[in-house]
């Protein structure tokens, strides 16, 4: 640049250099004064400060994923999102709609500061054979969630976060393809935290645990090898570290892809490198894409002693409850969908004294580094979050799930499991009582004996079993899990307890997975029962009715049966 300035030669080079410097620094020029510098550019000075946490109140992910749109007039102004979201939105071959055009991601941006610099090294991970959790075998020889010690295959993953896209004029994917390819990003908590900061007790032996500084990993292994089977092995990605292109191996090599360092050469290229790539003709790095951060987590855990038949419906209920509580937190705290996320971690074995039981776990994750404080508020006000969820789910014209209630673009892979009426009784149980703080030295799991006893009697929870005992103590013998239908039609509800000759139905709202068919809208079903010929008398009881007001509750049912 100095020779151009002093000699006057190559003024165009000098001018373009100065324009680039001004853009990087955000300095306004005569050309840009009409369009003032703003934070849409990756080099905006205040944005750079925000990236390192030095500008309070500025919303920008500390570690973003970026996408550069090749050929766009503002190519230097990259698209940006939080890195976990970027693994889904900017994954190779993903369609992107931006600036009035349709684009397609085709590789990594070698100039991006968010990609690893220097020699790329893969993170080697292992997947637990028992519970499917991804973990680092160097940190723990056994699965940190279920404790399984079975050896597993070592798999590579790369921390790429800057991607490239080019214009794409191909037809848009139909609904079936869009849903099948949606959200391949898996969330894997490490279960290792810097600090367990709080514990709370909930009804029926449930509890909450708030952890700070837990390492959470987001993993994208690519689409399934068999597109029609989402549970088939993943195809992984093949990326060239030299030219950044997403490579495609020839058909005869797809079955024997290995993560071996490519040898330099100049053979005929069958993979899709750029023409000038020094690794042309060689395979690239094969593996998954990942990112990781130490974040805050909140675990909702409960003992599970259900039968194999009940376990078949457990996922549907737990996923629905997870998404309902998440949307309740969004409504109650006025959050955006990106502020919190939730994961149903299924059940795993835990030791309670000399017994081993199954424990179900729902984990809420705050992806903001350092935490935003909402998980602590959620833990202390879970009853109010449940109320907000119930208010949100109170809508007309939907008997399962819709985009008005629980369905979102981000949870498309869960749409087949969502049935919002499954969670209403549990939400009512959570709303009835505020969480009770526990000492941090408290055991992680309550005694499962009350659950074992309840299930043995055909009840769905200790609260239902207590209701049964209360009824029996007054000399009453109700029918458990009684289906009710109109005429010769299918049963539209299953009452927890019923007295069919007197047409009295009882529902118990406890914090539990229910064995009966809970696909119902509470008020709609109750009105339907009351309007039948002859009508039903309907009672709905919670923990306060069965414990603190047990005498009044027993009196009300005796009067109804007279």
CB 216 within 8 A of CB 365: yes
What SS3 state is found at 553?
helix
CB 63 within 8 A of CB 84: no
End-to-end CA distance of the chain: 99
Q: Which residues make Cβ contacts (< 8 Å) with residue 238, sequence separation at least 6?
A: 246, 247, 248, 249, 257, 271, 283, 284, 285, 286
CB 36 within 8 A of CB 28: yes
What SS3 state is found at 422?
helix
User: Mind giving me the DSSP string for 477-537?
Assistant: -PEEEEEEESTTS-EEEEEEEEEGGGTEEEEE--SS--SS---S-HHHHHHHHHTSSSPPE
DSSP state, residue 224: B
d(CA 22, CA 15): 11
- pTM over cut 0.85: no
d(CA 502, CA 486): 16
Of 403, 333, 326, which Cα lies nearest the Cα of 365? Answer: 326
d(CA 169, CA 97): 11
Q: Which residues make Cβ contacts (< 8 Å) with residue 350, sequence separation at least 6?
A: 356, 357, 358, 359, 444, 445
Residue range 457-561 in CATH 3.40.960.10: yes
d(CA 209, CA 440): 9
Task: Please return the burial class of 531, using the count of CB atoms within 10 Å of its CB with bins 0-12, 13-18 and 19+.
Answer: exposed
> Domain limits of the chain?
292-438, 457-561
Which tokens in the block code for residue 235? 């195809």
What SS3 state is found at 386?
helix
Residue 542: per-residue pLDDT: 82
Handedness of CA 49, 54, 56, 61 (dihedral sign): positive
Bridge partners of 156, per DSSP, are 124
What is the CB-side half-sphere exposure of residue 392 using CA atoms within 13 A?
A: 27
What is the CB-side half-sphere exposure of residue 555 using CA atoms within 13 A?
A: 4
Task: Please return the burial class of 231, using the count of CB atoms within 10 Å of its CB with bins 0-12, 13-18 and 19+.
Answer: exposed
CB 85 within 8 A of CB 293: no
d(CA 245, CA 222): 16
Residue 518: per-residue pLDDT: 47
Q: Which residues make Cβ contacts (< 8 Å) with residue 10, sequence separation at least 6?
A: 3, 4
CB 165 within 8 A of CB 105: yes
Residue 186 φ then ψ, to 5°: -100, 145
**Exposed e or buried b per residue across 140-175, where buried means at least 16 C-beta atoms within 10 angstroms of its C-beta:** eeebbbbeeeeeeeebbbbbbbbbbbeebeeeeeee
pLDDT digits (tens), the chain, 562 positions: 455 545 545 555 666 667 666 666 656 555 554 444 455 444 455 555 555 555 566 555 467 899 999 989 888 889 988 888 899 889 988 889 898 889 999 999 988 888 887 656 789 999 999 889 999 988 888 898 888 888 888 999 999 999 999 998 776 555 444 444 557 899 999 998 888 889 999 888 889 999 999 999 999 999 888 777 767 788 899 988 888 888 887 776 545 544 444 444 445 788 888 888 888 888 888 999 999 999 999 999 988 877 766 777 889 999 999 999 999 999 999 998 888 999 999 998 877 667 777 889 999 999 887 778 899 999 999 999 999 999 999 888 887 899 999 998 888 888 989 988 888 888 988 998 899 998 876 455 556 677 778 878 878 778 888 899 999 998 999 999 888 888 777 777 888 899 999 999 998 887 766 554 444 456 778 888 998 989 999 998 888 788 888 889 999 998 888 8
CB 462 within 8 A of CB 204: yes
């Amino acid at each position: 640049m100095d020779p151009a300035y002093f000699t006057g030669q190559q003024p165009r080079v000098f001018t373009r250099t100065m324009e680039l410097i001004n853009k990087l620094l955000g300095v306004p020029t005569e050309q840009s004064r009409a369009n003032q510098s703003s934070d849409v550019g990756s080099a905006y000075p205040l944005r750079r400060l925000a990236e390192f946490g030095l500008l309070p109140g500025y919303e920008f992910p500390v570690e973003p994923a970026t996408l550069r749109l090749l050929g766009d007039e503002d190519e230097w102004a990259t698209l940006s999102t939080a890195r976990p979201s970027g693994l889904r939105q900017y994954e190779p071959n993903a369609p992107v709609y931006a600036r009035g055009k349709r684009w397609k991601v085709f590789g990594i941006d070698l100039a991006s500061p968010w990609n690893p610099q220097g020699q790329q090294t893969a993170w080697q991970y292992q997947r637990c054979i028992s519970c499917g959790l991804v973990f680092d075998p160097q940190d723990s020889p056994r699965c940190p969630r279920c404790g399984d010690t079975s050896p597993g295959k070592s798999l590579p993953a790369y921390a790429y976060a800057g991607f490239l896209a080019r214009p794409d004029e191909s037809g848009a994917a139909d609904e079936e393809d869009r849903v099948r390819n949606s959200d391949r990003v898996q969330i894997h908590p490490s279960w290792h935290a810097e600090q367990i900061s709080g514990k709370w007790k909930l009804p029926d032996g449930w509890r909450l645990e708030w952890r700070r500084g837990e390492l959470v990993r987001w993993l994208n292994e690519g689409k399934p090898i068999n597109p029609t089977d989402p549970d088939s092995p993943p195809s992984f990605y093949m990326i060239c570290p030299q030219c950044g292109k997403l490579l495609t191996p020839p058909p005869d090599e797809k079955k024997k892809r290995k993560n071996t360092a490519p040898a330099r050469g100049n053979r005929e290229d069958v993979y899709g490198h750029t023409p000038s790539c020094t690794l042309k003709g060689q395979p690239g790095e094969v593996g998954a894409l990942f990112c990781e951060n130490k974040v805050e987590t909140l675990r909702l855990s409960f003992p599970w002693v259900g039968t194999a038949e009940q376990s078949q419906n457990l996922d549907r209920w737990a996923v629905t409850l997870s998404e309902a509580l998440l949307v309740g937190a969004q409504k109650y705290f006025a959050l955006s969908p990106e502020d919190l996320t939730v994961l149903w971690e299924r059940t795993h074995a835990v030791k309670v004294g000399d017994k081993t039981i199954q424990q179900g776990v729902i984990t809420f994750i705050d992806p903001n580094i350092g935490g935003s404080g909402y998980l602590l508020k959620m833990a202390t006000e879970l009853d109010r979050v449940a109320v907000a969820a119930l208010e949100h789910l109170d809508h007309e014209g939907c008997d399962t799930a819709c985009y008005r209630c629980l369905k979102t673009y981000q949870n498309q892979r869960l749409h087949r499991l969502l049935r919002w009426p499954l969670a209403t009784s549990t939400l009512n149980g959570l709303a009835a009582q505020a969480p009770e703080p526990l000492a941090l030295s408290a055991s992680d799991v309550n005694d499962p004996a009350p659950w074992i006893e309840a299930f043995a009697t055909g009840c769905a929870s200790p609260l239902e079993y207590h209701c049964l005992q209360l009824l029996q103590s007054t000399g009453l013998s109700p029918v458990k899990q009684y289906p009710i239908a109109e005429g010769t039609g299918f049963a539209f509800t299953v009452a927890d307890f019923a007295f069919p000759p007197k047409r009295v139905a009882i529902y118990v709202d406890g914090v539990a997975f229910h064995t009966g068919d809970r696909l119902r809208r509470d008020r709609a079903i109750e009105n339907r029962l009351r309007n039948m010929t002859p009508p039903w008398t309907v009672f709905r009881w919670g923990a306060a009715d069965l414990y603190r007001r047990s005498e009044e509750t027993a009196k009300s049912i005796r009067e109804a049966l007279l």
